[in-house]
Amino acid sequence: MTGSHTIVVGIDGSESANRAVVWAAQAAASRGWTLRIVIAVDPPHHLSDEDRIEFRAVAEARVAAAEILAAESVDQGQFDVVVEAADGKVVEVLMAESAGSESIVLGASGLGESDSGVIGSAAVALSAHGSSPVVVVRGRSIDGLPPTYGPVVVGIDGSAQGQSAVAAAFDEAAQRNSPLIAVHVWSDVSLAQVSGVPRDWESIAVSEEAVLAESLAGWQEKYPDVEVRRIVAQDRPVRVLSQLSEQASLIVVGNRGRGGFTGMLLGSTSYALIHTADCPVMVVR
């Protein structure tokens, strides 16, 4: 029996988008949510009326093929599938879709004839401005398939805004029956640049461990079955999270962070990860 929640996947006819469809279908089925497959129809202005009709026909064929792919990708679980070829530019279409969805799922790059990579641009725009979390489906195998096993990793910066990412990460870990790795990174460089800050790195490390503990407070009680591993590192956030992505099934980050003492500049970190991580990346506003 399906629920009222919806996961939206944006497609463009590329192999990258197909992988996103598979990932989104499996996520929807595991939760009993609706999967909405959307393609933007934005024909070039110079096309004739006849060519515009053909352009839309190609788009409609692509969402129909994606619907079949979604159904074939799921071994168990029930979910409804809705498809739409929506008029408009891809970023505008998906931005509107994000307002009513649980998440927007995209491939790591677009390879369709009509957009030549615009889904990649959409991922950046939606991560920064979309209403719902954005999942960029990335893989580490030769064929680019995303991993199906491994822990969920969440980057924590200690900000109030970052609690949304923590909540999403615990929910994903519980849904997958996977352990959760909570990562908090602080940087000597950013600390040294702040006037008057003593360079007592041992004391700073203790303080940063307290930041992580405070950020997790309450969540472990809410999700008692989720095994949590904590990492406090003195490094660049993107380097630590990228290394963990080599073993993870999903990385969860906020779309911007507190910065300052932690060096956890999630704006730049999330941007880097959606381009380079070895597993899917969820960016949470």
Map tokens 């941007």 to a residue: 271
Which CA distances in Å does 106 have to 1, 12, 59, 124, 172?
26, 10, 17, 10, 17
Q: Give the distance, in angstroms, between the CA of residue 147 and the centroid of all CA atoms in the same chain.
A: 14
pLDDT of residue 206: 85
- Model confidence, pTM: 0.89
Contact 103, 282 (CB under 8 A): yes
Q: Specify the length of the chain in residues.
A: 285
- Amino acid type, 247: Q
Residue in 164, 168, 187 with CA at minimum distance from that of residue 263: 187
How is residue 227 written in tokens?
A: 């095994």
Query: Which residues on adjacent β-strands are paired with residue 281?
Result: 136, 251
In tens digits, the chain (285 residues) has pLDDT values of 344 799 999 999 999 999 999 999 999 999 999 999 999 999 999 999 999 999 999 999 999 999 999 999 998 778 999 999 999 999 999 999 999 899 999 998 753 344 444 556 788 889 888 899 999 999 998 888 899 899 999 999 888 778 999 999 999 999 999 999 999 987 655 444 454 444 566 777 788 899 899 999 999 999 999 999 999 988 888 999 999 999 999 999 998 654 433 444 347 888 899 999 999 999 998
Predicted pLDDT at 257: 55
